[in-house]
């Protein structure tokens, strides 16, 4: 049997640069670089984020996608100025498989930690293993998955809801709270919609290894994280600050060593729109109280489970399931993924 080898696909992102010129380009950038930028030479995982911009834009383009670079430690940097059409084309051709492809940036790529973004400045390559099938890997999703909900205290603001309120809104009675009273939540809806094949459970209580960095212990599947980041610095910087703090607080090298899925509930004013999540990833990010609404929770968790939007020709135009449109309602609507999505997840006999 012949061995299966990884292969590299080169995708022209913005500025095709001949190999013989790449080092000259890099030297020029080193000479004139923004002092907040530094060379980025590491390989990272390619992640596509699906951004839900909000019902206020209904009837127009109300969604977006971004290409991101996840480091081995879980920090995620957005690749600047990536055309939406280019992302969609590479997803459709399986050149880019979010959460599976390695993203190889060219010589001359720079990272700006102050804004959480990378400039590629040349050709971008994806390294994949041979893939058969459709543009997204179809995998049965069953069993038990742990979830951690993160409340944030930042410079200039904090998440409106308390840890207890967040835990109740995501897990309901399963949170272990004595006064839990949220009847419709992420856990209850997924259990019902999957015919008990998939259960999201709160992460087991865990004590911080140090209290020198503030925050709280993990209780009832929720935690508070303190960051020095200002709300005005935006969500890309904020999410990496949260990731760094979680690793320090609980002595892990990657947040996924804590839980299968982690929900970052950001303070108001940190981001525009509703929420976003990374396809085939572990993180979802919410604009404050949108973290508590079950249709939003299921929509973003659906992206983590490798689901696309319904009716991608006009995202959010399909209201037959939660991958179409999200609602600002605490106990409803009690919707599931549509039949095609449920079949993809392996929830039908």
Domain boundaries, the chain: 7-128, 143-344
Q: What is the rounded average pLDDT of the residues 49-55?
A: 81
d(CA 237, CA 27): 27
Q: What's the pLDDT tens digit per position in 226-277?
A: 999 999 999 999 999 999 999 999 999 999 999 999 999 999 999 998 999 9
339 confidence band (pLDDT: 50, 70, 90): confident
CA separation for the pair 115, 200 (Å, rounded): 33
Q: How far is CA 158 from CA 66, 134, 274, 292, in A?
A: 26, 41, 17, 15
CA torsion, points 107, 112, 118, 121, in degrees to nearest 10?
A: -40
Question: Is 143-344 CATH 3.30.460?
Answer: no
pTM for the structure as a whole: 0.87
Q: Can you give the pLDDT at residue 8?
A: 54
Q: What is the DSSP string of 150-167?
A: EEEEEETEE-SS-HHHHH
Q: Which helix (H) or strand (E) holds 296?
A: helix 294-304
How many whole angstroms separate alpha carbon 281 and alpha carbon 127?
A: 17
């Amino acid at each position: 049997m012949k061995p299966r080898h990884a292969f590299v696909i080169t995708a022209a992102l913005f500025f095709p640069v001949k190999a013989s010129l790449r080092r000259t380009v890099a030297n020029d950038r080193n000479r004139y670089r923004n002092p907040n930028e530094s060379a980025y030479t590491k390989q990272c995982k390619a992640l596509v984020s699906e951004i839900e911009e909000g019902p206020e834009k209904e009837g127009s383009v109300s969604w977006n996608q971004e290409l991101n670079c996840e480091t081995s430690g879980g920090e995620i940097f957005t690749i600047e100025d990536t055309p939406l059409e280019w992302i969609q084309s590479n997803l459709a051709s399986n050149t880019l498989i979010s959460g599976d492809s390695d993203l190889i940036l060219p010589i001359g790529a720079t990272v700006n930690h102050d804004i959480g973004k990378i400039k590629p400045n040349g050709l971008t390559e994806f390294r994949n293993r041979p893939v058969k099938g459709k543009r997204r890997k179809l995998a049965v999703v069953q069993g038990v998955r742990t979830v951690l909900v993160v409340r944030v205290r930042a410079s200039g603001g904090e998440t409106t809801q308390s840890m207890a309120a967040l835990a109740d809104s995501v897990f309901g009675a399963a949170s272990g709270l004595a006064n839990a009273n949220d009847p419709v939540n992420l856990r209850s809806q997924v259990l019902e919609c999957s015919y008990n094949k998939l259960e999201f459970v709160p992460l087991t209580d865990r004590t911080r290894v140090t209290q020198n960095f503030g925050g709280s212990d993990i209780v009832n599947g929720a935690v508070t994280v303190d960051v020095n980041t200002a709300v005005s610095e935006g969500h890309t910087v904020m999410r990496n600050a949260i990731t760094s703090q979680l690793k320090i607080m609980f002595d892990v090298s990657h947040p996924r060593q804590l839980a299968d899925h982690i929900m970052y509930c950001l303070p108001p004013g940190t981001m525009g729109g509703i929420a976003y999540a990374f396809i085939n990833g572990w993180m979802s990010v919410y604009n404050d109280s949108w973290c508590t609404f079950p249709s939003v929770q299921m929509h973003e968790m659906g992206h983590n489970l490798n689901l696309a939007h319904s009716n991608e020709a006009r995202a959010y135009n399909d209201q037959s399931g939660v991958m179409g449109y999200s609602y600002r309602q605490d106990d409803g609507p009690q919707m599931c993924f549509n039949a095609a999505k449920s079949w993809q997840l392996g929830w039908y006999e």
